[in-house]
Amino acid sequence: MKTYFILFLSLFLFSCSSSSDDEVRESVPQLTTKDISLDDDGLLKIGGKITNTGGSQISRVGVIWSTSANVSLENYATEDKEELFSSNEDFEFRSKKIFLPNTTYYFRAFAQNNKGTALGNVVSYKYRNVIETLDPTEITTVSATLNGKYYQPLGNLSYAGFVYATHSEPTIFDSSAASAATLGTMNFKVQLTGLTRNTEYYIRSYTKIDNRYYYGEEKKIKTAGYFGPAGGIVAYDKGVTTDGWRYLEISNKDVGKNYCSTMPPMCRFGAAWSETNNYIAGTSEKMGEGPNNTNFIISKISGDTAAKFCKQYSVNGYSDWFLPSKAEAEVIFTSIRKGGMYLNSGLVSWTSSEINSNEAYLIYGDGSTSGQKYADYKTYPVRRY
Q: What is the CATH number for 51?
A: 2.60.40.10
> The domain spanning residue 152 has which CATH number?
2.60.40.380
Asked if 251 and 365 sit in the same domain, the reply is yes
Contact 297, 307 (CB under 8 A): yes
Shortest CA distance to 54 belongs to which of 5, 122, 118? 118
Whether residue 205 sits in one domain with residue 66: no
Distance separating alpha carbons of residues 326 and 140, to the nearest angstrom: 17
Report the largest interatomic distance among the alpha carbons of the chain, rounded to a whole angstrom: 152
Average pLDDT, the chain: 87
Which of 127, 158, 182 is where one domain is finished? Answer: 127
237 and 184 housed in the same domain: no
Q: Are 281 and 293 in contact (CB under 8 A)?
A: no
Residues 168 and 103 in one domain: no
Q: Which amino acid is at 198?
A: N
Indicate if 141 and 67 belong to the same structural domain.
no
Query: Is a pLDDT exceeding 70 seen at residue 27?
Result: yes
Burial 272-306 (b: 16+ CB within 10 A, else e): bbbeeeeeeeebbbebbbbbbbbebbbebbeebbb
Q: Are residues 27 and 156 in the same domain?
A: no
> How many structural domains compose the chain?
3
User: Does some domain include residue 7?
Assistant: no
Listed range (224-238, 240-254, 263-277) with the worst mean pLDDT = 263-277
Instruction: Classify burial at 349, counting beta carbons within 10 Å of its beta carbon; exposed 0-12, middle 13-18, buried 19 or more.
Output: buried
Indicate if the alpha-carbon torsion angle 14, 18, 19, 23 is positive or negative: positive
Q: Which of 127, 142, 168 is the last residue of a domain?
A: 127
Domain limits for position 256: 233-384
Question: 110 and 146: one domain?
Answer: no
Do residues 237 and 268 both lie within one domain?
Answer: yes
Instruction: Please state the pTM of the whole predicted model.
Output: 0.72
Q: What pLDDT was estimated at residue 83?
A: 64
**273 and 204 within one domain:** no
Based on the fold, state whether residues 259 and 304 are members of the same structural domain.
Answer: yes
What Rg value do the Cα atoms of the chain yield, rounded?
A: 36
Last residue of a domain, one of 175, 197, 223: 223
Tens of pLDDT, residue by residue over 300-346, are 999 899 999 999 999 999 999 999 999 999 999 999 999 999 999 88
Question: Does residue 3 form part of some domain?
Answer: no
| 11, pLDDT greater than 60 | no
Does 17 fall in a domain? no
What does the angle CA 120 – CA 124 – CA 128 come to, to the nearest 5 degrees?
Answer: 145
For residue 88, name the pLDDT band (cuts at 50, 70, 90): confident
